[in-house]
Copies of this chain bind each other. A is one copy, B any other.
Amino acid sequence: MKIERPHKDAATLNATVQAVIDDVRLRGDAAVREYEQRFDHVCLDRLKVSDSELSEAEAAVAPELKDALLLAHHNIKKFHEAQRFEGKKIETQPGVTCWQKAVAIERVGLYVPGGTAPLFSTVLMLATPAKIAGCNDIVLCSPPSHEGKLHPAILVAARIAGVNNIYKIGGVQAIAAMAYGTESVPKVYKIFGPGNQYVMAAKQIVSLHDVAIDMPAGPSEVAIVADETANPAFVAADFLSQAEHGTDSQALLVTTSKTMLNDVESEIERQLQSLPRKTIAAESLKHSKLVCVDTIDHAMDIINEYAPEHLILAVSDYMSVAEKVKNAGSVFLGNYSCESAGDYASGTNHTLPTSGYARAYSGVSLDSFIRKITFQELTPEGIRNIGPSVAVMAHNEQLEAHKRAMTMRYETISQK
């Protein structure tokens, strides 16, 4: 059984997006300001968030939200700090030592979408590992309100994560500004963060030649595997918390219990009625699916074929079922590990591969902000041990200068 995802054709956007990118690349801040006026309906004299705006934001955020941000940051930091890489020196032959060293990407750009709600959680998810990695320049762009302001919770989250290079720029113009640099915005080497289809297209276009991006992206999605021990109200709530993201979100329930399927279906209908984002969720539910299968193994086959961004295993022996996961972004185990825990505050990253990209991509982690540079040190003994083999291989690949670079060293040693 293959679950189809809702499709969208990005080709039609590309010309529009490319034009904005080219213009920002050519005209810098002036172009950025014009697009901010056109798309965000705001006239900005200064693109960078000022110190006084940062102070105002501190006063504007309620203490209980600030405390929640601090707790989330603590957990995200703790989990991502544990991901630090220590390379081991490996002597592959006597005199031939190789190792990897983690080095932070010097300049990174973080995009935080605007829209109806301030996505301060994304600020924590991207800025916290960037800071742990030791990235020198961390640039954050987010679209301003009509009043030319960023939401105070975004600014406070950035302060908590240690980022203060913040720009009031959204959409394609933000991606272009970070990819190429403008008078105000420093050029970065890698761009992170979610966005609408225009932002995604812009990230893909600039990634073809000029900067790296975190990963390709599509609409958010959850798959839930439930046996008869699951709690139908919990499952329905998780299902709906996916559906409320957007009309193109997808939720999928695969259960071994027909009763569970029916109970979840009723619960979804019941809970939906009282949701503020009911219209969005109802639209998303149209392409969401509830499926009953005979065994958990069959359920896991469907899951691994689908490769969900989020996977909830609401089954009694979730630890053994977890061993069967081949393709997923992030996995939530048992009845108490809801997706919203990982979306906000458990410590795992919420920037995850969608659209089946989990087959080949990992979610954002500390790795996303570093490179592992390889080093090698050969001694004369090392040259003796691998030199002849290198020479034979280079000769057979018809690369005589490669061979000579080795034989010359080999002969110098032999003469000593």
| Minimum CB distance partner of A117 in chain B | B398
Contacts A376-B331, A390-B344; A409 near B277 (Cβ below 8 A) = no
In angstroms, Cα B389 to Cα A64, docked, is: 8
Contact between A405 and B339, CB atoms less than 8 A apart: yes
Contact between A373 and B237, CB atoms less than 8 A apart: no
| Minimum CB distance partner of A342 in chain B | B376
0/1 per residue, A79-91, Cβ < 8 Å to B?
A: 1001100001010
Residues of B close to A386: CB separation below 8 A: 71, 75, 341, 345-346
Which of B118, B208, B347 is the one whose CB lies under 8 Å from A98?
B347
Contact between B243 and A401, CB atoms less than 8 A apart: yes
Which of B209, B332, B362 is the one whose CB lies under 8 Å from A371?
B362
In angstroms, Cα B277 to Cα A392, docked, is: 17
| Minimum CB distance partner of A373 in chain B | B328
Contact between B78 and A340, CB atoms less than 8 A apart: no
The residues in A between 171 and 198 inclusive whose CB is less than 8 angstroms from any CB of B are 189-190
Residues of B close to A244: CB separation below 8 A: 399-402
A404 contacts chain B at the CB level, 8 A cutoff: yes
Residues of B close to A39: CB separation below 8 A: none
Q: Which of A46-54, A158-166, A352-360 contacts B (4 or more CB under 8 A)?
A: A352-360
Contact between B90 and A400, CB atoms less than 8 A apart: no
| Minimum CB distance partner of A369 in chain B | B360
Q: Which of A253-261, A293-301, A377-385 contacts B (4 or more CB under 8 A)?
A: A377-385
The residues in A between 362 and 416 inclusive whose CB is less than 8 angstroms from any CB of B are 362-363, 365, 367, 370-380, 382-383, 386, 388-390, 392-394, 396-406, 408-409, 412
Residues of B close to A106: CB separation below 8 A: 326-327, 359
Contact between B365 and A360, CB atoms less than 8 A apart: no
In angstroms, Cα B276 to Cα A129, docked, is: 50
* Minimum CB–CB distance for A355 against chain B, Å: 9
In angstroms, Cα B390 to Cα A68, docked, is: 7
In angstroms, Cα B364 to Cα A373, docked, is: 10
Contact between A376 and B348, CB atoms less than 8 A apart: yes
The residues in A between 210 and 264 inclusive whose CB is less than 8 angstroms from any CB of B are 211-212, 216, 231, 233-234, 237-238, 240-241, 243-245
In angstroms, Cα B232 to Cα A405, docked, is: 11
Contact between B88 and A241, CB atoms less than 8 A apart: no
Residues of B close to A74: CB separation below 8 A: 92
A338 contacts chain B at the CB level, 8 A cutoff: yes
Contact between B79 and A92, CB atoms less than 8 A apart: yes
A142 contacts chain B at the CB level, 8 A cutoff: no
Which of B190, B231, B241 is the one whose CB lies under 8 Å from A402?
B241
A329 contacts chain B at the CB level, 8 A cutoff: yes
Instruction: Give 26 A-B contacts (CB < 8 Å), ordered by A residue.
Output: A65-B392, A68-B388, A68-B393, A75-B92, A75-B93, A82-B88, A82-B90, A92-B347, A117-B397, A120-B397, A209-B216, A212-B360, A234-B409, A277-B401, A322-B375, A331-B375, A333-B377, A336-B383, A336-B409, A340-B403, A341-B390, A342-B374, A344-B402, A361-B371, A365-B372, A367-B367
